[in-house]
Structure 1
Amino acid sequence: MFSLLTTSTFAETKPDLDQKYDLVVYGGTSGGIAAAIQASRMDKSVLLIEPTEHLGGLSSGGLGATDIGNKGAIGGISLEFYQNIKKYYDTQSNWKQEKPSDFKGYNSSDEAMWKFEPHVAELIFNEMLKEADVPVLSGERLDLKSGVVMEQGAIQQIVMESGKRISGHMFLDTTYEGDLMAVAGVSFHVGREANATYGETLNGIQTKNAVSHQFEHEVDPYIKPGNSASGVLPGINPEPLAVDGTGDHRVQAYCFRMCTTDAVENQADWVKPEEYDPLQYELLFRNFEAGDRRIPWNPIFMPNRKTDTNNNYAISTDYIGMNFDYPNASYEERDEIFRQHLIYQQGLMWSLANHARVPEEVREHFQRLKPAKDEFTDHNNWPHQLYIREARRLISDYVMTQHDCQGRTVPKDAVGLAAYTMDSHNIQRHIVDGHVINEGDVQVGGFSPYPISYRSIRPRKSECRNLLVPMCLSASHIAYGSIRMEPVFMVLGQSAATAAMQAIDAKVDVQDISIKELQNKLKEDKQVLAWTGERKTPPISLTDLEGIVLDDTDAIRKGSWKFSRSSPVFVGAYYAHDSDSGKGDKTVTWIPEIKTSGEYLVRLYFPPQGNRASNVPVKVTFAGGEENMVINQRTNPQNKPYQTLGTFQFEKGTTGKVMISNAGTDGHVIADAVQFILVK
């Protein structure tokens, strides 16, 4: 029976390294834990190996605000984890800094809970492993040079840096980096594919779409302002970029998901690192001095007055451009990249809270929220897990792409569902007309939960016959941005372990198992393999998506209007309370590229409703200038799901712009799309 302890310890079952395990799982992430539990439940011997001293990866490393897309897509052991989170918080004594009734993420009648403190996640993972009697080998890293012993296309042993050898019939790589698959010699990719590779539109270099988390003011990129010969500030690429859609080696930015609190009795101080370099933050200071007063982070409250804090706006916790070497790096090189990320983010937070060039109201904000001193106690209250948003990705017989996410391709060998927006954080900074610009951010959703192919989590048979890769799976950069969520990793970990155990029983390679039998077992174990709820279909073609940009990461819905395809429609949901409940003003911008010169009728789509704002600022930028207006979203005199903003002249090869904001509004602001109709 599941029990809850007050301290977190590793599973009690000791590894037997003389044994040949049915399944060896390398990586004690959430996905690896789910895999190990599933193998044990299927009465197979299993060993879970974690290179560090902490289990749970990002789920216990600060990411307590579960990114999910649609909770109905999650089942099996993944759902069990969130149900166990709920059981923990059902106990009154586990609420230290607030009452359960004070926390909006808790409801006593709910089946599961999706927000939690980091140490609680690690505690529950350990308890689930103990209940399943899974042995854990911790603090052991794979030898990256000769750590895999292969025979006839199958892994026989893996070798740790310490020299320890572990034998197994089947192996799972459940690391964020894909180290085991790389050492085993299977094909993988690092970076962004070109759009042409898989016929996508949102892959490769992205400048037109990258207005989310973007600079809103002109900021000089040079060490000596106005003097390009002085060199650029840290993290800025001085070279011209290739055209949009061009592939490259770059990966989206990493950061630490900090756990902060406003409970003074549980606060640790922001620390100024010994290697603090003010030049690293010159861009931040100049951005404030240029007029940007946005609070540059996104703290989401967890139980007990704590937060899961993520990147937000132009300059924030993402250390943009500083992680490109990480996926293929040695341990020593990764340790240094980790250290540099830690120095940057600690210095950033100290600067935001203390530096004289930061506006006083911003400094006051960062003095109210500080690190929680009862989290990450062995790492100076900073997460022990760097947010590896992507690293290596397998290349197998089936590559998940944008077409899978948007429902244009539907594999029949589903082993789980994904549901999140196609989401890439910024990847680099570059210079346009003497000012710094972020590049790479893409956020496109509006689709239903979709199936993940079994072929995408196992290598080609010619490369390895007994390895499964449920986390660094076969997916393009932009599709991986949708799949890479912790609940999905747990789903895929369980499915991969089930497939491996089936291969053992049938005495076949992982490529040759019966998909029907696999899916029957997964359904028996309450995995969700098909979406039966409301189905959303993108209402426009892929080429229409070129101009879509959002800079509101909290957007909660997409429009369902059926647009005429005879004129371009640019979709993207925006939702904000009046001045976003005190968090500051937010703006969403649509920037379409004009294909034909002429006069265009511009429509803004939104559903009229009583709690909408009556004084919503909108700005249209066109060839002859710009026009500011105020619209009323509470009523719609046209009795249609849109308002016409006017007729404006646009020139071919230029960009128009429609902006909507919640600045000074007295109700909720929402928008779904804009439409440009050529009338003359």
Structure 2
Amino acid sequence: MNKITIFKVAISLVILFLKQEVNAITAQEIHRADIVIYGGTSAAIMAAVQSVRLGKSVVVVSPDIHLGGLSSSGLGFTDTGDKSVIGGLSREFYHRVYLHYQKKSAWNWQKKENYGNKGQGTPAIDGNERTMWIFEPHVAEQIMEDFIKENRIKVYRNEWLNRELGVELKLGKIISFTTLGKKKFVGKMFIDATYEGDLMAASKVSYHIGRESNQVYNEQWNGAQPLVFQHGHYFKNNIDPYRIIGDTTSGLLAGISGKQTILKGVGDEKIQAYTYRMCLTDQPENRISFPKPDHYNPLDYELLIRVFNSGWNELFNKYDPLPNHKTDTNNHGPFSTDYIGMNHDYPNASYKRRREILKAHENYQKGLMYFMATDPRIPKNVQENLNKWGLAKDEFKDNENWPYQIYVREARRMIGSYIMTENEVLGKKEVPNSVGMGSYSLDSHNVQRYVTPEGYLQNEGDVGVKAPKPYGIAYGSIIPKKEECLNLLVPVCLSSSHIAYGSVRMEPVFMILGESASTAASLAIDNQTNVQDVDYAKLKTLLLNQKQRLNLQD
């Protein structure tokens, strides 16, 4: 082969390579917006709506097909706290719930006058404020979809961030991110509104997982909390943990981490338990019997028999009523729907591993209901009452009537410009530059189930300490440190200690912070500044004009 031929071949190869590169770039969809929101939660939807109202182009990139997060996935018995500090778009959501249930057509399984109007510390229907705080899952989802449609918001569903290589950073800013579906999203400002904080983590922003030691932030209720019993989620009697009672060589029952001496206030990398908030009904025409899960082993629920045998009888205490003979069914008692200790690796896990964890939680919870409905050792009166209940046929219809979203009570938490702690929640420390308010108790579910030094079974991690009054949530807690990222806001996995997050992590608050995050992002765009340099006085004025509550004086 002579030199001319070699040169022609080389030129041809270069041209072929360039064509392939051009085709690859062409094949990748590129979408641009002023504000790019990652997540399909209630915070994401409110952030998107507010972006449009402030005249910004916006796109929502949602790993979820169904929008609204937990608000649309069974958590209809709203954790309101002090509802007077819920303002802005969050209150508008609950006003739309109210309007829905004013229609006669909304009451298809129950007459409105027969609904008990029970809420969580407040009436479900507040006629004076024209709000309703309790609702069916499909109602919440429809309202979320209405928000999207009315504001002509573009949503890309089932699009998952490429966590390894998808985020493009330059000079401290996110330029774009790419999904596993090969879509690229370019923006001026970015909001991570996921429960997991994946965009935040992929953008190299600092975060924490687990319980900090009490010494880190001078707290009392962070860290491990052995023998702290502030709810009813613990073993009140001595329960033997072994497969064969009294035989320590027979092995532990399922779900027990082992014998431990746990020191109070010590930090660890463990997180509070997750659950699915099932929507159950006792309406025969709308009821589906509890299904047998894919992997069912009655031995996984042996401990429950011992709990019943100890005299416990509170099974139905958290079948909180929703309209139309339905429930928001929450964990209650020492052995319940929380799959304690089985989620500790979830926050940083790969997508594949997360799917395994979610499936294990689903199997556990379905198996629990099936076990109680069918096992002959369950007390007869309990079993008869349980079998009056089942999954609601008209909820989650494309998911075998099972909630779309697990309750991620806690995952990653950003270490941002300001860190919320129990001292702010309990009123011991003033909050600078508030962008919303919380009011719920310091609330952590159990973290682990272990054998005490005395040889008996116990749960650990459950805390419930009332906040004396509503408190502000600092702007600095939803933005990263300036040296880490200049154009990202994080309204869900915000900067908070474990125990303070137990108060902040309520759906109305996430909506509030989503709206505040998009307002700050819009200001940053208008003033061509970083999120850390937003003029708080201007931000406060905008938020108050949006009827947000920032402190008790506003």
Q: Which residue of 1 aligns with 2:170?
A: 151
Query: For 1:330-349, what aligned pairs fall within 5 Å after superposition?
Result: 330-349=350-369
| Secondary structure class of the residue paired with 1:451 | strand
For the pair 1:502 / 2:514, whether they are aligned, the reply is no
> Retained in 2: the 8 A contact 1:423–1:478?
yes
Q: Which residue of 2 aligns with 1:324?
A: 344
For residues 346-373 of structure 1, the C-alpha deviation after alignment (integer angstroms, 9 at most, x for no partner) is 0101111221111111111211121111
Query: For 1:363-442, what aligned pairs fall within 5 Å after superposition?
Result: 363-432=383-452, 433-442=454-463
Q: Which residue of 2 aligns with 1:36?
A: 48
Q: Which residue of 2 aligns with 1:189?
A: 208
> Retained in 2: the 8 A contact 1:296–1:316?
no
Q: Which amino acid aligns with 1:488?
A: V
Aligned with residue 68 of structure 1, among 75, 80, 83 = 80
* Cα distance in 1, alignment partners of residues 337 and 162 from structure 2: 31
* Cα distance in 1, alignment partners of residues 427 and 443 from structure 2: 17
| Secondary structure class of the residue paired with 1:84 | helix
Q: Following TM superposition, by how much is the alpha carbon of 1:110 offset from its aligned partner in structure 2, in angstroms?
A: 4.3
Q: Following TM superposition, by how much is the alpha carbon of 1:208 offset from its aligned partner in structure 2, in angstroms?
A: 3.0
Q: Which residue of 2 aligns with 1:652?
A: none
For the pair 1:101 / 2:113, whether they are aligned, the reply is yes
Q: Which residue of 2 aligns with 1:253?
A: 273
Q: Following TM superposition, by how much is the alpha carbon of 1:211 offset from its aligned partner in structure 2, in angstroms?
A: 5.2
| Secondary structure class of the residue paired with 1:494 | helix
| Secondary structure class of the residue paired with 1:22 | strand
Does the C-alpha gap of structure 1 residues 249 and 297 become closer, same or farther in structure 2, counting only changes over 3 Å? Answer: farther
* Cα distance in 2, alignment partners of residues 371 and 532 from structure 1: 45
* Cα distance in 1, alignment partners of residues 477 and 183 from structure 2: 30
- Identity among equivalent positions (%) equals 47
For the pair 1:178 / 2:190, whether they are aligned, the reply is no
Q: Following TM superposition, by how much is the alpha carbon of 1:18 offset from its aligned partner in structure 2, in angstroms?
A: 3.7
> Retained in 1: the 8 A contact 2:442–2:467?
no
For residues 408-456 of structure 1, the C-alpha deviation after alignment (integer angstroms, 9 at most, x for no partner) is 1112200000000000001101112221101000000041100000000
| Secondary structure class of the residue paired with 2:543 | helix
Q: Which residue of 1 aligns with 2:535?
A: 514
> Retained in 1: the 8 A contact 2:31–2:184?
no
Aligned with residue 36 of structure 2, among 24, 27, 51 = 24
Q: Following TM superposition, by how much is the alpha carbon of 1:274 offset from its aligned partner in structure 2, in angstroms?
A: 3.1
| Secondary structure class of the residue paired with 1:224 | coil
Q: Which residue of 2 aligns with 1:482?
A: 503
| Secondary structure class of the residue paired with 2:277 | coil
Q: Which residue of 2 aligns with 1:127?
A: 146
Q: Which residue of 1 aligns with 2:478?
A: 457
* Cα distance in 2, alignment partners of residues 229 and 76 from structure 1: 59
* Cα distance in 1, alignment partners of residues 43 and 55 from structure 2: 19
Stretches of structure 2 that go unaligned for 5 or more consecutive residues are 1-27, 118-123
> Retained in 2: the 8 A contact 1:217–1:291?
no
* Cα distance in 2, alignment partners of residues 355 and 396 from structure 1: 50
Q: Which residue of 2 aligns with 1:471?
A: 492
Q: Following TM superposition, by how much is the alpha carbon of 1:230 offset from its aligned partner in structure 2, in angstroms?
A: 2.2
Does the C-alpha gap of structure 1 residues 211 and 81 become closer, same or farther in structure 2, counting only changes over 3 Å? Answer: closer
Q: Which amino acid aligns with 1:439?
A: E
* Cα distance in 2, alignment partners of residues 372 and 322 from structure 1: 27
For the pair 1:203 / 2:222, whether they are aligned, the reply is yes
* Cα distance in 1, alignment partners of residues 334 and 498 from structure 2: 22
> Retained in 2: the 8 A contact 1:296–1:315?
no
Aligned with residue 351 of structure 1, among 371, 385, 388 = 371
| Secondary structure class of the residue paired with 2:524 | helix
Q: Following TM superposition, by how much is the alpha carbon of 1:223 offset from its aligned partner in structure 2, in angstroms?
A: 1.8
Q: Following TM superposition, by how much is the alpha carbon of 1:28 offset from its aligned partner in structure 2, in angstroms?
A: 1.1
| Secondary structure class of the residue paired with 1:63 | coil
* Cα distance in 1, alignment partners of residues 99 and 487 from structure 2: 37
| Secondary structure class of the residue paired with 2:368 | helix
Q: Which residue of 2 aligns with 1:616?
A: none
For residues 296-322 of structure 1, the C-alpha deviation after alignment (integer angstroms, 9 at most, x for no partner) is 661111111111110001110000010
> Retained in 2: the 8 A contact 1:217–1:292?
no
RMSD of aligned residue pairs (Cα, Å): 1.3
For the pair 1:242 / 2:262, whether they are aligned, the reply is yes
Stretches of structure 1 that go unaligned for 5 or more consecutive residues are 1-15, 534-680
> Retained in 2: the 8 A contact 1:297–1:311?
no
Q: Following TM superposition, by how much is the alpha carbon of 1:17 offset from its aligned partner in structure 2, in angstroms?
A: 5.3
For residues 613-664 of structure 1, the C-alpha deviation after alignment (integer angstroms, 9 at most, x for no partner) is xxxxxxxxxxxxxxxxxxxxxxxxxxxxxxxxxxxxxxxxxxxxxxxxxxxx
* Cα distance in 2, alignment partners of residues 68 and 200 from structure 1: 24
Q: Following TM superposition, by how much is the alpha carbon of 1:108 offset from its aligned partner in structure 2, in angstroms?
A: 4.9
* Cα distance in 2, alignment partners of residues 124 and 287 from structure 1: 41
Q: TM-score, normalised by structure 2?
A: 0.92
Q: Following TM superposition, by how much is the alpha carbon of 1:99 offset from its aligned partner in structure 2, in angstroms?
A: 1.4
Q: Following TM superposition, by how much is the alpha carbon of 1:272 offset from its aligned partner in structure 2, in angstroms?
A: 1.4
| Secondary structure class of the residue paired with 2:249 | strand
* Cα distance in 2, alignment partners of residues 131 and 62 from structure 1: 24
For the pair 1:54 / 2:63, whether they are aligned, the reply is no
Q: Which amino acid aligns with 1:366?
A: L
* Cα distance in 2, alignment partners of residues 211 and 278 from structure 1: 30
Q: How many residues align?
A: 518
> Retained in 1: the 8 A contact 2:195–2:410?
yes
More divergent stretch after superposition (413-422 vs 283-292): 283-292
Q: Which residue of 1 aligns with 2:12?
A: none
For residues 187-243 of structure 1, the C-alpha deviation after alignment (integer angstroms, 9 at most, x for no partner) is 000000000010000011101323531112221111222222222111112141331
* Cα distance in 2, alignment partners of residues 377 and 418 from structure 1: 33
Q: Which amino acid aligns with 1:215?
A: F
> Retained in 1: the 8 A contact 2:39–2:194?
yes
Stretches of 4+ moved more than 4 A in 1? 107-110
Does the C-alpha gap of structure 1 residues 192 and 332 become closer, same or farther in structure 2, counting only changes over 3 Å? Answer: same
* Cα distance in 2, alignment partners of residues 337 and 180 from structure 1: 20
